[in-house]
Amino acid sequence: TSFDAYSLMLDTQVRTLDQPRELTLSMSTTSPLLADQAVRAELHSLLDVPLIARLAAGRSADLRVPPHTQARNPEEGPPALLPGLTGEEGRPLRLGVNPADDSAVAAGRSIVDLLSRFGVAAEVTTTDLGDLAGNLLPAGKVDAVIAWEGSSGGPLEMADQWLCPPDPETPRAGNLSGYCTPETDAMARSLLSGETPAPEGQAFFAGQNAREHVRVPLLGERRVLVLGEGIVGPDPDLDNWTAGISTVASWRKQ
pLDDT, tens digit (0-9, with 9 covering 90-100), for 59-69: 998 899 999 99
Task: Provide the pLDDT for residue 243.
Answer: 79
Say what the pLDDT of residue 135 is. 96
Q: Which amino acid is at 44?
A: H
Whether the Cβ atoms of residue 176 and residue 28 lie closer than 8 Å to each other? yes
* Positions of the chain with pLDDT under 50: none
Q: For residue 114, which phi and psi values (nearest 5 degrees)?
A: -60, -45
Give the H/E segment covering residue 146.
strand 144-150
Q: Determine the pLDDT at residue 217.
A: 98
The confidence score (pLDDT) of residue 241 equals: 84
Contact 150, 159 (CB under 8 A): no
Q: How confident is the model over 93-116, as pLDDT tens digits?
A: 999 999 999 999 999 999 999 999
Specify the pLDDT at position 90.
84
List Cα–Cα distances, 227 to 13, 34, 199, 223, 245, in angstroms: 5, 46, 35, 13, 11
Say what the pTM is.
Answer: 0.91
Residue 96 β-bridge partners: 125, 145
- Give the pLDDT of residue 182: 97
Q: What's residue 121's pLDDT?
A: 96
